[in-house]
Structure 1
Amino acid sequence: MKQRAPLTLAAVTAALAALTGIASLTAPDPGAKPADGKTAAAAARMPVERSLLVCPAPSSSDIADTTYTAFTPAAAKASGDGKGVARLLGATKDAKPVLESKEPGKPVGATATGAEAPALTGSAEGALAPGWTAQLTTKVSVGRARGVLGTACTAPGTDFWFPAVSTAKGREDFVHLVNPDDAAATVDIKLFGPDGLAKSDAGVGESIRVDPKSSRTVSLATLVPGIQLADATAHVTTRAGRVGATVQVAEEGVGADWLPASTDPAGSLVLPGIPADATSVRLVAFVPGEQDADLKLRLAAPGGAISPAGNEQLHVKAGMTATADLADVTRGEPGSLLLTPADPKKTAPVVAAVRVVRGTGAKQELGFVPAAGPVGTRATLADNRPEENTTLLSLTAPGADAKVKVTASPGTGGGEPASKEVTVKAGTTQTVALAPAGGKGAYALTVETLSGGPVHAARTLSLPHEGIAMFTVQAFSDDHSTVSVPGATQDLSVLTR
């Protein structure tokens, strides 16, 4: 066998130079326009190839009944061969699948009972990734935590604000933390009441460890022993790693539900989907920065925006939690609360949520509506029910007229999708009841912005029980199903640099 002569550096350089010279004759000029004379393509929007979600453990009640629903919109497309898979697993190292999706456009569901149902982590890849969403809904018929508790599973993060928490007598608020990663996460939790930061014993609430691929539950009352805060704001941050964070609330004699995080601090906020028959609406707001906020309050109702009598404005001191009791502000019409600076020249970022009660006396039920961002290009929410008067979609256009397309997917047990276009006038909230034709089981609702200003949306799911108007409200969030991919041109000169 002959041995090949080793290549010298000079020979390699010469070969590369020759290759580059040939390539330069055929490669396009990076600065040249395409043959059609148009400007070179800008960055393109491409479907995401992987999505990650986490879901808290649903309940500590032995009589809890939980439904999980997951869905990817049928219009979603992904690069590659068009195949994909989405799977929700128990948030443990020896995790077992709870449900699995294999095809966009068809929701899948699973159920669990009792207090042993675990927190979940899940991922979707390929064609199942763009717009993948999941929801858990739990019904507890009796007991201290009775009610309907619903929450959308969320992407893990590092910073969360929870206005409307409490450590008062009769309230039990727990922060559920889920770590989907292979490394431990370290979490800090701070509470801010009407007088500012609530003092706690040294180290309490700091450096809370959440083991890899596990979950942890923290009672807010244990962070400030002996301090009863009727209305407070919790701030959850990570020193290391990332987590999913949601607050579970149980209020004695009233009900229970999940309190999701408010959208990021902003000068103007929309709290969408306050039920028409709300008997009590309490706004809780907090300013994270150093400048006070003076907010103008308006309710976007079907006929236009109105100011609540006696609560036209709210002053929020920096670093302190402020409240406004809006009573039965909706007065029989569904609406969304709009918070804007009283003086447009003086703005301060704010977070906010409202505690909503339906019913009276022993027939009360509790829910929360945090501030939410717009639906953006597209947003989807799973686990809607086809029974009459069970699912109601609220659409709010805070600043300009808008048109959206609403699509109801088939149910987990079948049915044909249905869709309609809806025009939402500026400053109003419009409601839509839409279900798949012949739908059976839980289905998903997708909202797409077609034209006009931003639209905010929320879904009220009502599951009455023995005369109690049990319900839960979830806001829609932009599914961020695409990412910007910069345009690229060939540049073989890098071979000789």
Structure 2
Amino acid sequence: MSRKEEPRNGRAGTDNNGTDNAGKPPAGRAEARVRRQRRRRQAVTAVSAVLILAAGTAVVAGSAVIDSGNAGKTVDSAAADVPAGPLTAVCPEPLRLLSGAVAGTDPQFSPVSESAKTSLSAAVLSGAGNPVPASSLLKIDGSVLKTIADEAVDVQPLAGVRSAGVLVDENVTEATVLSAEPSGTLQATANAVVGFSAEDGDLAGLAAANCQAPGNDMWLLGARTTVGATAVLRLTNPSESAATVDLELYGSKGRLEGTGTRGILVPPGETKSIVLAGVAANEPGLAVRVRSSGAPITAMVQQSILRGLTPGGVEFIQPSAAASPQQIISGVRIQSAGAAKELAGERGYESAAPAVQVAVPGSTNGVVSVRILGKDGDVSVPGGGVFTVPAGSVGQLPLDSLPEGTYSVEVTADVSVVAGTVSSRGSKADAPVDLAVAPSGERLGNEHLAVLPGDAASVLSFAAPAGEAEVRLTGVARDGKLADEQIVTVPAGSTINVAATSVGSDLAAVLISTTGEPVYGAQVLTAAKGDGVSVLPLPKGNIGGTTVPVSLGY
């Protein structure tokens, strides 16, 4: 059910038709919208303005600055600040079953079960001493679906105090966009999470995903297109320009060349769906590189598995870190070794075993080494954890001998690789089993915002592969207030797991910052009922403005 929006900054929340809770249009809404649109254009035009100003300065200075006749002389570079732009993040549409054609693009989707629920939770933080930035949940076409925080006018927050605009368990039926204006000179610290849960039907299980900033190059690893497995690639273009997308596919036997993988047109404000079995059938672990020209896009895989009549799990597969010789995967949830082996021993359940998957996109075979980090340090890996992955293919290493727990995995190789893990939760072949896909992540820094879905328990998992690190955790309550900061130490070469409930009560999100040696993290969700499980990479930290060097010469 929809949750009524609470007043923020002394204002009532705004409903879908743009009126306040008293039924009157908010004063100055049109003017505020114009101001927001003007600020969005500032980020795009700032560099041009700087260059024009620089050129004008050179002309006005004339011979007073530049010696005439001294060709080739260069004036020292000056730095010009370009302010941060608005935050835009695309939130995936709900999971649905395929119906009709099951290959190619533009598939049809059938309704989900009666118990299925898709909800969105979001948090937008202010900078210290600043009001909460104007922020909204939009439809893909740009129309406002829900206002999180209105633009503050004549609001004077206490110096050094931060607050948040919060949206909790908002029902959604389509893809949406989280939009937030900058907070001062920094891009807003904001995030939203879409959570799907179903207790019955073919899509029984738990799946969740962070809303994603658009990009032009990303990797997705862990999709399955074997019998009973359905993987749908969703490409969304939230911009006002068209995007042309090319796909590179890598499977267990090498690179795959399929029709319909080049020149995919994604019009402005639309989502293109591609059934991956139509371009790469019978793959137990598929790697997809998505590259766009023109507008930036978002990419995500909707994965579901059905073994006969028994649900085998659902997941949103999110982008991994870019290909490199080192990859760190956090939040690897393993059930007991006995349960994992027993389940994988059943006919048709071989793919339920936990494993590390590694893609080698280059033209040289990769020698891969896997290191497992547990709560007490390194955990032994069968066979030493070293194996070779042929060039242009995806290989995997089983993890079914690990004791029950939540781990981190370090993958190193002599070539650039992409890595992730797959695992399952559930121990009986005649009962629903859920699926978790954990992508590799980037090193954490400051201002990462983990949003907590209301229907699942969240555990934050952190790893420090090389040396000791500190993680600072601040709870963000549903009323928008921030709790006192807590500091957690991550010992060198180990993984620690922090339940969100230990950070505070009635939380909407947790703000995460780190110091010390490199630390990585993920958010592990488990369902309150059943065996539902899902893994979220921690979102990127906030982004400040950039400095552009301006050189003058003739």
Q: CA RMSD in A?
A: 3.3
Native 8 Å contact 1:414 1:439 kept in 2: no
**Structure-2 change in CA distance of 1:454 and 1:46 (3 Å):** farther
Equivalence map 1:150-299=2 (5 Å) = 150-200=208-258, 203-224=259-280, 227-252=281-306, 253-277=311-335, 279=340, 280-299=353-372
**Which residue of the partner structure matches residue 446 of structure 1?**
511
Native 8 Å contact 1:418 1:436 kept in 2: no
Structure 1 stretch 104-113 or stretch 245-254: which is displaced more? 104-113
> Distance between the aligned counterparts of 2:406 and 2:523, measured in 1?
11
> Distance between the aligned counterparts of 1:364 and 1:208, measured in 2?
34
Q: Which runs of 5+ in 1 are unaligned?
A: 1-15, 22-30, 33-41, 342-346
State the TM-score, normalizing by the size of structure 1: 0.80
Give the CA deviation at 1:456.
0.5
Native 8 Å contact 1:90 1:98 kept in 2: no
**Which residue of the partner structure matches residue 470 of structure 2?**
403
> Distance between the aligned counterparts of 1:17 and 1:241, measured in 2?
39
> Distance between the aligned counterparts of 2:294 and 2:235, measured in 1?
13
Native 8 Å contact 1:49 1:127 kept in 2: no
> Distance between the aligned counterparts of 1:456 and 1:437, measured in 2?
18
Q: 1:353 aligns with which of 397, 415, 420?
A: 420
Letter in 2 for 1:482: G
Give the CA deviation at 1:415.
6.7
Native 8 Å contact 1:384 1:445 kept in 2: no
1:326 aligns with 2:394: no
CA offsets 1:136-156 (integer angstroms, 9 cap, x no match): 111122111111110001111
1:421 aligns with 2:421: no
Q: What percentage of residue pairs aligned between the two structures are identical? A: 23
1:462 aligns with 2:516: no
1:105 aligns with 2:163: yes
Give the CA deviation at 1:377.
2.7
Q: 1:69 aligns with which of 121, 127, 132?
A: 121
Give the CA deviation at 1:385.
4.8
**Structure-2 change in CA distance of 1:112 and 1:59 (3 Å):** farther
Give the CA deviation at 1:379.
1.4
> Distance between the aligned counterparts of 1:391 and 1:181, measured in 2?
32
Q: Which runs of 5+ in 2 are unaligned?
A: 1-59, 66-74, 97-111, 153-161, 341-352
**Which residue of the partner structure matches residue 138 of structure 2?**
89
1:338 aligns with 2:390: no
Native 8 Å contact 1:74 1:105 kept in 2: yes
Give the CA deviation at 1:256.
0.3
Secondary structure at the counterpart of residue 405 of structure 2? coil
Aligned residues: 439
> Distance between the aligned counterparts of 2:192 and 2:460, measured in 1?
17
**Structure-2 change in CA distance of 1:67 and 1:77 (3 Å):** farther
Letter in 2 for 1:92: D
Give the CA deviation at 1:74.
4.4
> Distance between the aligned counterparts of 2:426 and 2:357, measured in 1?
21
Give the CA deviation at 1:84.
2.8
> Distance between the aligned counterparts of 1:437 and 1:416, measured in 2?
11
Secondary structure at the counterpart of residue 416 of structure 2? coil
**Which residue of the partner structure matches residue 391 of structure 1?**
458
**Structure-2 change in CA distance of 1:427 and 1:436 (3 Å):** closer
**Which residue of the partner structure matches residue 378 of structure 2?**
305
Q: 1:374 aligns with which of 419, 440, 443?
A: 443
Give the CA deviation at 1:107.
4.4
Native 8 Å contact 1:47 1:130 kept in 2: no
Give the CA deviation at 1:121.
2.1
**Structure-2 change in CA distance of 1:189 and 1:422 (3 Å):** same
Letter in 1 for 2:135: A
> Distance between the aligned counterparts of 1:296 and 1:444, measured in 2?
35
> Distance between the aligned counterparts of 1:437 and 1:269, measured in 2?
28
**Structure-2 change in CA distance of 1:111 and 1:394 (3 Å):** closer
**Which residue of the partner structure matches residue 24 of structure 1?**
none
Secondary structure at the counterpart of residue 278 of structure 2? helix
Native 8 Å contact 1:301 1:335 kept in 2: yes
Native 8 Å contact 1:418 1:434 kept in 2: no
Native 8 Å contact 1:417 1:436 kept in 2: no
Secondary structure at the counterpart of residue 277 of structure 2? helix
Give the CA deviation at 1:386.
9.7
State the TM-score, normalizing by the size of structure 2: 0.72
Native 8 Å contact 1:107 1:443 kept in 2: no
Structure 1 stretch 103-112 or stretch 206-215: which is displaced more? 103-112
**Structure-2 change in CA distance of 1:206 and 1:17 (3 Å):** closer
> Distance between the aligned counterparts of 1:386 and 1:65, measured in 2?
10
**Structure-2 change in CA distance of 1:463 and 1:186 (3 Å):** same
Native 8 Å contact 1:76 1:130 kept in 2: no
Max radius of gyration: which structure?
1
> Distance between the aligned counterparts of 1:483 and 1:293, measured in 2?
38
CA offsets 1:51-102 (integer angstroms, 9 cap, x no match): 1111121222254312212223444677xxx563112211126x34234234
Native 8 Å contact 2:475 2:504 kept in 1: no
Structure with the higher helix share, 1 or 2: 2
Secondary structure at the counterpart of residue 362 of structure 2? coil
**Which residue of the partner structure matches residue 344 of structure 1?**
none
CA offsets 1:382-404 (integer angstroms, 9 cap, x no match): 125598xx221111001111112
> Distance between the aligned counterparts of 2:173 and 2:358, measured in 1?
33
Secondary structure at the counterpart of residue 485 of structure 1? strand
Letter in 2 for 1:108: V
CA offsets 1:247-271 (integer angstroms, 9 cap, x no match): 1100113210111011001111110
